[in-house]
């Protein structure tokens, strides 16, 4: 008799598949081992972010009526059985990645039990399509996660607190953005007495990250301090400095017109990403290209005037 997984279990399975492996090739091998057809996997764009890959996979599976039940139950069984995440522990920021994967698998186990298996696989497809029509946030798992981050940012913006507290909360928002865009983020850390708000990797280049939520625009001294941190790292290291209050024009000018090691981002840039007007990675690439071509370290993708 056909059975189905609950909608909540399907969403939990998607979340778990997005975090249990760091590398896309490992995820692909795992999916093959769970019975996902190689031809089906070849229809996915493996250059996309993992969450988009998983979301596209589920859309394909839900259209393969004769295969979806068998494949989905196999995936649920194998993911829920995972208890070893040593492959994540060896990565940078490994403990955080392990904790995220364990939490996702635990939630899947909670939802997937004998009471979660129900009759009529056809109802799974119908309910899934209805939820996709009723809620835009369900249309795309990637978009749904970005909307969650946007909501978190609005909560942080509404909270009262000093620059240090709001800066720390902003770091958490940005770390979620880095994770969503597969930038291999590292949480804040301290090296020889200096605080680094975070780091990530894009196109083979390591970036140090710093977030500021001050009352006034950042001056030259703030930029000098961050540049000095970058200068103590490897030559290939760049920096991304986010200031919610913007930057003093003379500070930007003094750090432009030469070999720049940092890129600047303000709250208009962040809003553009959160409002889905631009992909964060595309925005960063444009800023870097502009700096390489003009020497200017501050380029607003969506100018305010």
The verdict on 95 and 47 lying in the same domain is yes
Q: How far is CA 255 from the centre of its chain?
A: 29
Q: Which of 223, 161, 239, 226 is nearest to 195 (CA)?
A: 226
The verdict on 21 and 67 lying in the same domain is yes
| pLDDT for res 68 | 62
The verdict on 25 and 57 lying in the same domain is yes
Give the number of residues written for the chain.
305
Per-residue pLDDT tens, the chain, 305 aa: give them: 335 667 788 889 999 999 999 999 999 999 998 888 898 899 999 999 999 999 999 888 877 654 566 788 888 889 998 999 999 999 888 999 999 999 999 999 888 764 344 443 445 545 665 665 555 544 567 888 888 999 999 888 887 777 678 878 888 899 899 988 888 888 765 555 567 778 888 888 889 999 898 889 999 999 999 988 888 877 778 999 999 999 999 999 888 876 778 999 999 999 999 998 898 999 999 999 988 888 899 998 776 54
Token pair 């909360």 is found at: 169
| pLDDT for res 118 | 43
| pLDDT for res 119 | 40
Q: Which of 41, 15, 40, 10 is nearest to 28 (CA)?
A: 41
Token pair 């019975």 is found at: 35
This prediction has a pTM of 0.59
Question: Domain end: 83, 116, 139, which one?
Answer: 139
The verdict on 16 and 120 lying in the same domain is yes
The verdict on 208 and 244 lying in the same domain is yes
Residue 303 lies in a domain: no
Token pair 């030259």 is found at: 220
Q: Output the DSSP codes for the chain.
A: --EE--HHHHHHHHHHHHHS-SSHHHHHHHHHHTT--HHHHHTS-TTS-HHHHHHHHHHHHHH-TTTHHHHHHHHHHHHHT----HHHHTSTTHHHHHHHHHHHHHHHHHH-STTT-EE-HHHHHHHHHHHHHH-GGGT-HHHHHHHHHHHHHHHHHHS---HHHHHHHHHHHHHHHHHHTT---B--EEETTEEE-EEEEETTEEEEEEEE--SS-B-HHHHHHHHHHHHTS-TT-EEEEEETT-B-HHHHHHT-SS---EEEEEHHHHHHHHTTSS-HHHHHHHHHHHHHHH--SB--SS---
Residue 301 lies in a domain: no
Residue 131 lies in a domain: yes
Residue 193 makes CB contacts below 8 A (sequence gap 6+) with: none
Residue 258 lies in a domain: yes
The verdict on 250 and 285 lying in the same domain is yes
The verdict on 32 and 78 lying in the same domain is yes
The verdict on 221 and 117 lying in the same domain is no
The verdict on 95 and 122 lying in the same domain is yes
Question: Domain end: 109, 139, 169, which one?
Answer: 139
Residue 124 lies in a domain: yes
Could you give the angle at the alpha carbon of 194 between the alpha carbons of 96 and 300, nearest 5°?
80
Q: How far is it, in rounded angstroms, from Cα 28 to Cα 25?
A: 5
The verdict on 33 and 127 lying in the same domain is yes
Query: At 172, which CATH number?
Result: 3.40.1350.10
The verdict on 185 and 263 lying in the same domain is yes
Token pair 């009529």 is found at: 120
Residue 299 lies in a domain: no
Instruction: Give the number of domains in the chain.
Output: 2
Residue 119 lies in a domain: yes
Residue 226 lies in a domain: yes
Tokens for 138, please give them: 């369900």
Domain range spanning residue 236? 154-294
| pLDDT for res 247 | 93
Question: Domain end: 91, 108, 139, which one?
Answer: 139
Tokens for 26, please give them: 């490992």
The verdict on 203 and 252 lying in the same domain is yes
């Amino acid at each position: 008799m056909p059975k189905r997984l609950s909608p909540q279990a399907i969403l939990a399975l998607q979340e778990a598949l997005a975090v249990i492996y760091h590398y896309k090739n490992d995820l692909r091998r795992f999916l093959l081992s769970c019975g996902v057809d190689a031809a089906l996997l070849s229809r996915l764009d493996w250059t996309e972010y993992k969450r988009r890959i998983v979301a596209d996979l589920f859309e394909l599976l839900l259209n393969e009526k004769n295969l979806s039940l068998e494949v989905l139950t196999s995936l649920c069984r194998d993911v829920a059985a995972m208890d070893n995440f040593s492959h994540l522990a060896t990565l940078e920021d490994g403990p955080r990645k392990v904790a995220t994967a364990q939490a996702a698998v635990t939630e899947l186990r909670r939802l997937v039990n004998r009471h979660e298996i129900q009759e009529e696989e056809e109802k799974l497809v119908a309910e899934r399509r209805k939820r996709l029509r009723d809620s835009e946030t369900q249309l795309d798992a990637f978009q749904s996660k970005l909307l969650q981050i946007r909501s978190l940012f609005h909560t942080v913006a509404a909270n009262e607190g000093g620059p240090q507290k709001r800066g720390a909360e902003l770091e958490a928002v940005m770390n979620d953005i880095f994770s969503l865009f597969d930038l291999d983020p590292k949480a804040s850390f301290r090296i020889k007495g200096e605080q680094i708000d975070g780091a990530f990797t894009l196109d083979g280049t390591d970036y140090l990250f710093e977030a500021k939520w001050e009352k006034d625009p950042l001056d030259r001294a703030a930029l000098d301090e961050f540049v000095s941190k970058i200068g103590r790292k490897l030559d290939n290291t760049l920096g991304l400095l986010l200031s919610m209050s913007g930057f003093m024009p003379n500070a930007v000018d003094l750090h432009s017109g030469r070999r720049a090691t940092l890129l600047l981002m303000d709250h208009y840039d962040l809003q553009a990403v959160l409002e889905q007007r631009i992909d964060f990675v595309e925005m960063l690439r444009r800023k870097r290209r502009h700096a390489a071509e003009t020497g200017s370290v501050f380029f607003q993708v969506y100018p305010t005037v």
